[in-house]
Amino acid sequence: MTSMGHLLHAYGEFGRHRRGKRKFAGFFGRDPLDVAADARAMIEARDLSSIGPISYFNRHEPVTGKERVIGSECAMQQYLDYVAVTALQQLFDAKIGYHQCASIRGKGQAHALKYLKRWVRSSSSRYYVKLDVRKYYNNIDRDVLMGMLRRDVRNDDLLWLVEALIATHAKGLNIGSYLSQYLANYYLSGAYRYAEGLQKERKSRRTGEVTDVKLVGHVLTYMDDWVLIGWDKRDLKMAVRRLVRYMRDVLRLEVKPWKPCAIDCEPIDMIGYVFRRTWTAVRAGIFLRARRAFRSADRALILTPHLAARCLAYWGYFKAACTRHYRKAHGIRKLVNDCKDVMSMAQVERNWYANNLQLGAA
């Protein structure tokens, strides 16, 4: 992990994914070899005291009304997050389940949307249960997490780095950390596999043969939000009770109250969509905000890049849901094309200014 090749690879990944280039201008203005050498010196000396503290701010979720505490790390700590994640990538790929979505490359909202649509339309899916872990990031037990890592990792430098990085977080794991999003999925990977493997014995009345029957047909997680889908209501309740007990006893997590629901009576509301048997709708709160944004863009004398970006962000929801008639009636497609033109011109202007600044500095 402390090889120069690995440190430079992590530097390249950080530079490719970073946001707020002005904020990190000083960090990326340095020679990458010097940055990698500083990181290696910190790891070998077992000392991260030179990195800056994490600054926290509150963020209000307009749709759900939740208040989240987000931590903003300094550039060096974010770089060390990438060093740790790239070193642990093979472990994460092996342990994190196929339907554990959110914050995993290639398995985000689109992955969850695809499979939830498919499962809801299947005749074998009759009941579902939604689970939500209470204050998941804050309530992750670091001792349990490090115990899992010590079981799976045999690199002392890597174990020390991960433990030192999460020790800088105020409580549990920091929302906003690149390392935290992977560790959060890894922490629940055992519970995911446990839920998928839940079975019961069924004895045939005619032959007396005993067979194992799965209690749950499908399991999908979107970070700490779970949905379990099955055919038999009693089996599903049995599986959920076992899963909740596993999370409480093994992971020390508390699950909010839950209830089994019939898909035909109560559609699944998850990842910003409402899933019914024959069609999928955008969640009401998101739809209202999207409609407001599209109306503002339609009435605006000058379409600003900020408003255009808002409309394009909501366009993804409209494409995936059954909104064809609404899009046609309100000319949404033309508005989206105008927004794309505005964003394209804004990018051309940014590139022109950046090139002229570089020429002026030279």
List phi, psi (to 5°) of 259: -155, 150
Q: Which two tokens stand for residue 183?
A: 């560790």
For tokens 């790929």, the residue is: 93
> Which of 176-190, 333-347, 348-362 comes out lowest in average pLDDT?
348-362
Q: Which two tokens stand for residue 321?
A: 């849901």
Q: Which two tokens stand for residue 285?
A: 């709160």
Using DSSP, state whether 41 is helix, strand or coil.
helix
Q: Are 178 and 211 in contact (CB under 8 A)?
A: no
Per-residue pLDDT for 215 more than 80?
Answer: yes
Per-residue pLDDT for 321 more than 90?
Answer: yes
* DSSP for residue 108: S
Per-residue pLDDT for 21 more than 80?
Answer: no
Q: Is 339 buried (19+), middle (13-18) or exposed (0-12) by CB count in 10 A? A: buried
Per-residue pLDDT for 102 more than 90?
Answer: no
Question: Which pLDDT does position 176 carry in this prediction?
Answer: 86
| Amino acid (1-letter code) at residue 344 | S
Band of residue 133 on the pLDDT scale cut at 50, 70, 90: very high
Rounded Cα distance, 321 and 54, in Å: 39
| Amino acid (1-letter code) at residue 237 | K
| Amino acid (1-letter code) at residue 56 | Y
Per-residue pLDDT for 20 more than 70?
Answer: no
Per-residue pLDDT for 5 more than 90?
Answer: yes
Per-residue pLDDT for 359 more than 80?
Answer: no
Band of residue 354 on the pLDDT scale cut at 50, 70, 90: low
> Which of 4-13, 104-113, 119-128, 249-258 comes out lowest in average pLDDT?
104-113
Q: Is 206 buried (19+), middle (13-18) or exposed (0-12) by CB count in 10 A? A: exposed
Q: Mean pLDDT over residues 319-339, rounded?
A: 94
Question: Which pLDDT does position 362 carry in this prediction?
Answer: 53
Q: What is the pLDDT of residues 266-304, one digit of tens each?
A: 999 999 999 999 999 999 999 999 999 999 999 998 999
Percent of the chain with pLDDT over 70: 96
How many CA atoms are closer than 13 Å to the CA of 109, on its beta-carbon side?
8
Question: Which pLDDT does position 196 carry in this prediction?
Answer: 94
Per-residue pLDDT for 345 more than 80?
Answer: yes
- Domain spans of the chain, in order of start: 280-361
Q: Are 281 and 320 in contact (CB under 8 A)?
A: no
List phi, psi (to 5°) of 312: -65, -35
Per-residue pLDDT for 157 more than 90?
Answer: yes
Question: Which pLDDT does position 207 carry in this prediction?
Answer: 83
Beta bridge partners of 129: 228, 260
For tokens 């500095």, the residue is: 361
Question: Which pLDDT does position 350 carry in this prediction?
Answer: 81
How many CA atoms are closer than 13 Å to the CA of 284, on its beta-carbon side?
2
Give the chain's mean pLDDT.
91
Question: Which pLDDT does position 25 carry in this prediction?
Answer: 79
Q: Which two tokens stand for residue 316?
A: 């993804």
Rounded Cα distance, 136 and 214, in Å: 27
Rounded Cα distance, 53 and 178, in Å: 16
Characterise 237 by phi-psi region: left (phi > 0), alpha (psi -120 to 50), beta (else): alpha
Question: Which pLDDT does position 358 carry in this prediction?
Answer: 55
Band of residue 225 on the pLDDT scale cut at 50, 70, 90: very high
Rounded Cα distance, 52 and 74, in Å: 6
Per-residue pLDDT for 203 more than 90?
Answer: no
